[in-house]
Structure 1
């Protein structure tokens, strides 16, 4: 069952202001594993926006966004469909399970790959040159879609390249910007890729533990609980990637290529979803039922004097390498440290909070395993609106002038 919150081309304020349930879509028999929208082409006269939902029941259902009517159920899959992707420029959509399928708007199967893996495709993203990246276990597979041309009447899908840089299963795969995409694995590996030639821009295998590793045995001890270092979700802005790692939150700077802030125990259980808010704020939700708001704050470090080495230097004797000291001092002066400060805790759910939707002008909607969908408001903003409405009411009744 799917309770559709934003439907039919309607502006979201109707839901966000009232919490109204617009549509309830019933059709799947097991849990929903993926959802996306398939907007109509701008040049097309018919504005038939579709909703695509995939399920563990090995089906994909296509819904009419205006009415909630089930357009069609696709049930030719041999495994669970774990992810969906829409390529608007080509006006096709893709489904990923143990094979990759390509469909058009009329729900015709255009082409598909052979069997890829029993575990299936866990995530899909679009990249330039009519290509898509599929996460399959530890691998990233690049596929190119071949559209019909004069020499070929049908569609085709070609495997272009396999990237084998991860050591464990890939859990997260997202586009960061026009230049990069990023992946995260079960053992906490973070890899930033060039979106054009699919090369590694940066790779961090233990960024979740910035302390130096003394030996391999120590690293094994730190990894006794893989769930504590699994990368579950990403969000990003122009400068940073915000990473949900186990129970913690990490801020990875794209330019400096290292972690600039972290909260190792942001929640009591795994963080499932993160999103960026305005004013350098971040929101996260967890298996423990909590929803928390954080603020990224910068703090300029004070420059420290270089510490001379050796017995005589300790007492002021001997000569210190001035050039080296100047370099160290300059580096320390330019270094900035950031912190993630907890500024809000939303208490209301009694079970795991799976994800949320954020509406900048109207509030936050959280979805939980306790079967509750809660609409949260900005208290300061709502108070201001209520005060404004009160003054308007007083003015209409003439009471405001009597009071003056």
Structure 2
């Protein structure tokens, strides 16, 4: 139903695998039947970050930063200062001296500059251009009221862009950072995970950052680094390794790499998987503290942290690599892909099947008596290692004509997606929007009748 709403859309993939789920034109479980196309960028839009419950910022390769209203789709501000593409974007909510909340964002560009913007008036507050290389990531530590920039160096700054301290790690750049307990930070540098600790004097005038430990368990570059809870974090690599870490002592809690080993794949599928090892990189991870949701190649996998195994999966969720994934309420997941699609999935519990023992007479009749016991044991153990949930497709949003980089979920205000086609799309709940329009019409009519009575 949504396929024709935008002139572009995803082209049919003739070589797509048959296992890709599809929906008909009538998507009865998909609420997003309306969309707003937001135009403000002239190149790939790579980043979206929420400012508050109804505002968000976008940035990309054109160096422009736009602030939007997620309710109406109105462009609030268009920020120009970077001369090259934006490489990192982060929200920085602060409290000023009058205890009034002031929302700010940080932007880093390939022009080796970092800028602090005021989201309420669209003005540039501070700018610094003293970096020796491009800043690849920005991380705000609200508890310490500082923020970190990661590139060839790790720098610690306050809200006024005063450099508090700097640490040079290795020749490779920092690609991602997250905050850990005890004033620590985990930084992904190639295939290494470096634990750093921030130290400050009692009066807060002197700062230092020093390396505590290096974790060398990944075999290839780390592509995703997320905080799962106060006690746990997770990393995903280019060769499909998921590692769950203890956030206090940085020991490995769980490791998963061969995602299909326990899913009882038939031999022909095993051969297909072995030929596509280059398509198993973990592009993105997200978590709800109970499970980690991994975008592995074209697929989506749900890894239960307590059971330490995959409990649901879609091996081919999209026609191309999955770039972003998020868990939303009502046991739903949303994913987007290089193929230009955004898809909604529901995590549903399967009905558990009990294994029935195979009669020994059948095997002994053909001279397989020794194999009988082994076959029976195999039959009984199989259900223990099969997935207990399914991921069922409930919505397919076709509007972008190129790779969807990421998205933001705004609850009742809908979904915002950004793409390599230079567009941002707001997907809206059609029934809700229809009700809102009806209410607005009734209010206008009542106001009109009041005016007529007064005249």
Structure 1 length-normalised TM? 0.85
- In structure 1, what is the equivalent of residue 453 of structure 2? none
1:131 corresponds, among 184, 187, 196, to 184
How far the C-alpha of 1:271 sits from its partner, in A, is 1.1
1:141 corresponds, among 194, 197, 214, to 194
How far the C-alpha of 1:377 sits from its partner, in A, is 0.6
Q: Separation in 2 of the partners of 1:65 and 1:84? A: 17
1:281 corresponds, among 316, 321, 332, to 332
User: Cα distance 1:82–1:220, how it changes in 2: closer, same or farther (>3 A)?
Assistant: farther
Q: Separation in 2 of the partners of 1:165 and 1:183? A: 11
How far the C-alpha of 1:117 sits from its partner, in A, is 2.4
User: Which digits, 9 at most, give the CA deviation of each residue in 1:12-64, with x for residues without a partner?
Assistant: 49822210011111111222121112221488635443210112222211112
- In structure 2, what is the equivalent of residue 265 of structure 1? 316
The answer on 1:177 being equivalent to 2:225 is: no
- In structure 2, what is the equivalent of residue 34 of structure 1? 88
Deviates more, 1:66-75 or 1:190-199: 66-75
1:8 and 1:66 in contact (8 A); partners too: no
Deviates more, 1:122-131 or 1:71-80: 71-80
User: Cα distance 1:76–1:191, how it changes in 2: closer, same or farther (>3 A)?
Assistant: same
2:48 and 2:418 in contact (8 A); partners too: no
Q: Separation in 2 of the partners of 1:212 and 1:305? A: 17
Aligned-partner SS, 2:168: coil
2:181 and 2:230 in contact (8 A); partners too: no
Deviates more, 1:295-304 or 1:182-191: 295-304
Q: Separation in 1 of the partners of 2:355 and 2:272? A: 34
Please tell me the root mean square deviation across aligned C-alpha atoms, in Å: 3.7
1:83 and 1:123 in contact (8 A); partners too: yes
Q: Separation in 1 of the partners of 2:222 and 2:51? A: 35
How far the C-alpha of 1:188 sits from its partner, in A, is 0.2
Structure 2's unaligned 5+ residue stretches are 1-39, 57-67, 450-455
Q: Looking at both structures, which has the greater relative contact order when contacts are Cα pairs under 8 Å and sequence separation is at least 6?
A: 2
2:211 corresponds, among 148, 154, 159, to 159
1:91 corresponds, among 128, 145, 148, to 145
How far the C-alpha of 1:313 sits from its partner, in A, is 8.6
The answer on 1:18 being equivalent to 2:69 is: no
How many positions carry a matched residue from both structures?
A: 391
How far the C-alpha of 1:11 sits from its partner, in A, is 4.7
How far the C-alpha of 1:200 sits from its partner, in A, is 0.5
- After TM superposition, the structure 1 = structure 2 runs for residues 187-336 of structure 1, keeping only pairs within 5 Å, are 187-208=239-260, 210=262, 222=274, 224-226=276-278, 228-307=279-358, 311-312=363-364, 332=383
User: Cα distance 1:141–1:7, how it changes in 2: closer, same or farther (>3 A)?
Assistant: closer
User: Cα distance 1:390–1:337, how it changes in 2: closer, same or farther (>3 A)?
Assistant: farther
2:355 and 2:379 in contact (8 A); partners too: no
Q: Separation in 1 of the partners of 2:385 and 2:241? A: 28
How far the C-alpha of 1:89 sits from its partner, in A, is 1.2
Aligned-partner SS, 1:300: coil
1:188 and 1:230 in contact (8 A); partners too: yes
Aligned-partner SS, 1:381: helix
- In structure 2, what is the equivalent of residue 105 of structure 1? 159
Q: Separation in 2 of the partners of 1:246 and 1:134? A: 23
Q: Separation in 2 of the partners of 1:334 and 1:43? A: 57
How far the C-alpha of 1:238 sits from its partner, in A, is 3.6
Aligned-partner SS, 2:94: coil
Aligned-partner SS, 1:18: coil
User: Cα distance 1:363–1:265, how it changes in 2: closer, same or farther (>3 A)?
Assistant: same
Aligned-partner SS, 1:382: helix
2:393 corresponds, among 342, 351, 358, to 342
1:274 and 1:284 in contact (8 A); partners too: yes
User: Which digits, 9 at most, give the CA deviation of each residue in 1:120-178, with x for residues without a partner?
Assistant: 0010000001000000011100000001137x952111100000110000000000112
Structure 2 length-normalised TM? 0.76
Aligned-partner SS, 1:380: helix
How far the C-alpha of 1:355 sits from its partner, in A, is 1.1
1:369 corresponds, among 395, 398, 420, to 420
How far the C-alpha of 1:291 sits from its partner, in A, is 0.9
Aligned-partner SS, 2:140: strand
